[in-house]
Amino acid sequence: MKREGIMIFDSIAVGPLSVNCYIVACESSREGIVVDPGGDAELIISLVQKYELKIHTIINTHGHFDHLGGNRLTLDAFGARLLIHEADAPMLGRSAEVARKYGLQGENSPEADGYLVDGMDIFFGTCRLKVLHTPGHTQGGCCLYIEEERKVITGDTLFADSIGRTDLPGGSHEQLLESIRTKLFTLPDDVIAYPGHGPQTTIGHEKRSNPYF
């Protein structure tokens, strides 16, 4: 597990589409959050238990089925609350149906306990992350900025040398580009971006080299 400064920050690829699930916690209090438990809940639970973390919140960066598959089991295991943007909340109950359309198994998620809102802060111990609403991949897509650690979890908004697909219901190519320009490319160049799939990158690299801009 990575330990940098006052924060524990770790990731594990889960589910049939290898979603990056992030575990972020306060080093001193051990309070933390899980972002996008897309499947393989037993692996996520085991990692959290190994480091004796107290997970109080599970966040879905958006409502696509591959990011929701472990919601139910992790919520039950941790007694946590579930947060997602209100625009994507209706997708929670359709996850299994959508997965079947792609020939995969999925599980519907419990309903959200609350909604992500642009600019809101989420605290865990002495740590904080800020919600950035970045619609375009979905209407409720969000990124999670940890200013003190120079990190941003970008979900399926921004990838290394790529962007999220916009050909699915609720997607908009122009809107996604605008979200990235105004919400992500305004962050410092040295901020490390941790996407929903694939390797990490930096904001500076994407501003200079992303072929979509």
**CATH code assigned at 126:** 3.60.15.10
Q: Give the pLDDT band (50/70/90) at residue 5.
A: low
Count CB atoms within 10 A of the CB of residue 126.
Answer: 13
How many percent of the chain have pLDDT more than 90?
94
Q: Which of 141, 199, 198 is nearest to 172 (CA)?
A: 141
Q: Which of 65, 85, 203 is nearest to 145 (CA)?
A: 203
Q: Which of 149, 15, 136, 23 is nearest to 85 (CA)?
A: 136
50 DSSP 8-state letter? H
Residue 3: pLDDT over 80: no
Domains in the chain, number:
1
Q: Which of 169, 146, 167, 142 is nearest to 156 (CA)?
A: 142
**Domain membership of residue 71 as a residue range:** 2-209
| 8 Å CB contact between 155 and 195 | yes
What's the mean pLDDT in 176-184? Answer: 98
* pLDDT computed for residue 204 by the predictor: 98
- Predicted TM-score (pTM) of the model is 0.96
Q: Give the pLDDT band (50/70/90) at residue 106.
A: confident
* pLDDT computed for residue 27 by the predictor: 93
What's the mean pLDDT in 180-190? Answer: 98
Q: Give the pLDDT band (50/70/90) at residue 1.
A: very low
Q: What six digits make up the tokens of 5? A: 């400064």
